[in-house]
Chain A
Amino acid sequence: MNERVHVKVPRTAKQGEVIRVMTKLNHPMESGWRRRQDGEIVPKDLIGEFSCEFGGAEVFKAEFDSGTSGNPYLSFFVRVNNSGRFRFIWSGQNGERYYKEAEIEVI
């Protein structure tokens, strides 16, 4: 289970630096477009929401829909002014949730 979530955050940064955060979750992201061999549609199974918190405040949020690829990868930028902890939360439409945390130190 632990290998489902991949997060890349630099360990240190300068004050006020804009850092790049890369995240990936291993998940099929079934789009609801696909048919099985017997003609039945494979039901939707998506990670609907992703959010990134830094120091307790939400800094980035994404909503995924059918058009997002499986194993949703995302990279975005965050400005860090002080050392703190990133928290990444993926919430699925079927109620599943995945978490990951990462720390960054401002030098």
Chain B
Amino acid sequence: MLNRRQLLLICGAWAAAGFPLGGLVGSAQAGPRDAKKRLAELTGGVKPQKGRISITLPKVTDQGRFVPIRISVDSPMNEQDYVRAIHVVAERNPTPEVASFHLSPANGKAQVSTRIRLLKTQVVVVAAEMSDGSVYLGKGRSKITGGAGGCG
């Protein structure tokens, strides 16, 4: 396990060796169209509706590699009406897929928190599949300052 001092040393050595810290960014970037296509694949082409999803993202962050995101869907989560799946797509990452979560009535509350990578300022699209087959769409935006951020 590295301690803080060793980590700083390594980072310093990296910078001194002329490593481009922004070298993380791949050349091919996905666009909103790819993201849309991917979402349609994930949700089976159902026409999405707006609302019911609230996304919490930091407005501005300089750590694009660890962006905390909290997604909560307004749903009673009982046997008749629950959220079946939540899909997260980042439009302008080299590959738009972020994560999918599969929920069941046993969850009791449709809320998930995780951390995602955002290589630049962009819109994060979240789709929630309900048990009755309908799909809801929500969007969140986060501004990324300082490249891909940090060591490695």
Contact = CB atoms under 8 A, between A and B. Distances in A.
Contacts of A91: none
Interface string A50-71: 0000100111111111111110
A64 B26 contact: no
Contacts of B93: 33, 66-67
B24 A60 contact: no
A18 interface: yes
Interface stretch (B51-59, B104-112, B127-135, B136-144): B104-112
Contacts of A61: 101-102
A68 B95 contact: no
- Interface size grouping (class) on chain B: 35 or more
A66 to B, nearest CB: 5
Interface string B66-109: 11000000000000000000001110011111111111101111
Interface string A68-97: 111011111111000000000000000000
B117 interface: yes
Interface in B26-79: 26, 65-67
Given A60-B107, A66-B95, A76-B107, A33 B24 contact: yes
Contacts of B24: 33-35
B97 A65 contact: yes
Nearest to B67: A69
Interface in A11-68: 18, 31-35, 37, 54, 57-68
Contacts of A68: 98-99, 114-117
A60 B103 contact: yes
Nearest to A54: B106
B95 A74 contact: no
B145 interface: no
A60 B65 contact: no
A69 B112 contact: no
Interface of B: 1, 19, 23-26, 65-67, 88-90, 93-104, 106-109, 111-119, 152
13 contacts: A3-B1, A34-B152, A59-B104, A59-B106, A60-B103, A60-B107, A62-B99, A64-B99, A65-B95, A67-B90, A70-B66, A76-B101, A79-B107
Given A34-B24, A63-B99, A67-B118, 9 more contacts: A33-B26, A57-B106, A59-B104, A60-B104, A65-B99, A68-B116, A69-B65, A73-B115, A75-B112
